[in-house]
Amino acid sequence: MSNTSGNSLLALLTGALIGAGIGILYAPDKGTKTREKIKDGFQDAKDDLKTKLDEVSEQLKSKLNNSKDNLEDSFEEMVSNASHKTEDLILFLEQKLAELKEQNAKLQK
């Protein structure tokens, strides 16, 4: 979840809580009922926030696992490419060494 949508969600929840609180405070109920409604409203908001937090947490875990898998695949590919390049370099150096030995043998005659 991006920072903007997180801020929007927080603003929405805050506005809903404030609106519900004001509505409950002006309702013609006893104080005990009003306090119970406020308590229930906060509990509902807390549960909603926990649910959203759990969803975001799961999304982040999923993205991190995917990133980890992609990184491992990239690393394995890089190691494989390096191995092939090393073999090519060894072959090239062996050919040059053979040429140098041949030139050296001609010079020693």
For range 31-40, the mean pLDDT: 78
pTM above threshold 0.75: no
The pLDDT, as a whole number, for residue 2 is 58
pLDDT of residue 10 exceeding 90: no
Mean pLDDT of the chain: 83
d(CA 36, CA 17): 14
Residues 63-97 have pLDDT tens digits of 888 888 888 888 888 888 888 888 889 999 999 99
Q: How many CB atoms lie within 10 A of CB 48?
A: 13
38 confidence band (pLDDT: 50, 70, 90): confident
Inter-residue contact 37 to 17 (CB < 8 Å): no
